[in-house]
Amino acid sequence: MDLQKWSPWNWFRSEGQDAPAGGEPRRGELTPLAGMHQELDRWMDGMMRQFGLPSLESRFGDMPELLRPRLDIAERDDDYLISVEVPGVEEKDITLSLDGDRLVIEGEKRQESTTKEDRYQRVERSYGSFRRLLDLPADAKPEAIEASFDKGVLTITVPRSGEVKSRRREIPIKG
């Protein structure tokens, strides 16, 4: 029995392949416990930053995760809608391309904030590049992908072909 057909499409299948081989799970294939652990780490980092303490990320050197944009993927009848949060990044610093059946989102983040209070001055900079790889599902029409950018959110519309959609039908329930 092929259980793969019952699981949702794994958009992030290629994203973890850049990582070094080891016992670490690939991105997008986290267990619920590992996902909860990541959320707890993010929460703790936020709390530590509020009190001016160094975050766990700065201690353990996981800077690429800090620059990695969050995204939402919505499946609709006629298309997929992908929203990528890139606050502080300008449209000219983002590149969207296709590599076979993979959608590649790349960009560079440059942020600087300065605080001056009395004789105290603090300057924080955040520079770096990010890359997200999304594997397109079989029913995607890559030639018709469109993208727009507004207020730090990149919105990507991936049209769907009717082939896979037509296999879906509603089953009446008899009482």
Reported as a single tens digit per residue, the pLDDT across 105-164 is 999 887 666 777 766 677 666 678 888 999 999 899 999 999 999 999 999 999 998 765
Residues 4-12 have a mean pLDDT of 61
Its pTM stands at: 0.59
Architecture in CATH for domain 9-162: Sandwich (2.60)
Distances (CA, A) of 173 to 53, 90, 169, 170: 58, 51, 13, 9
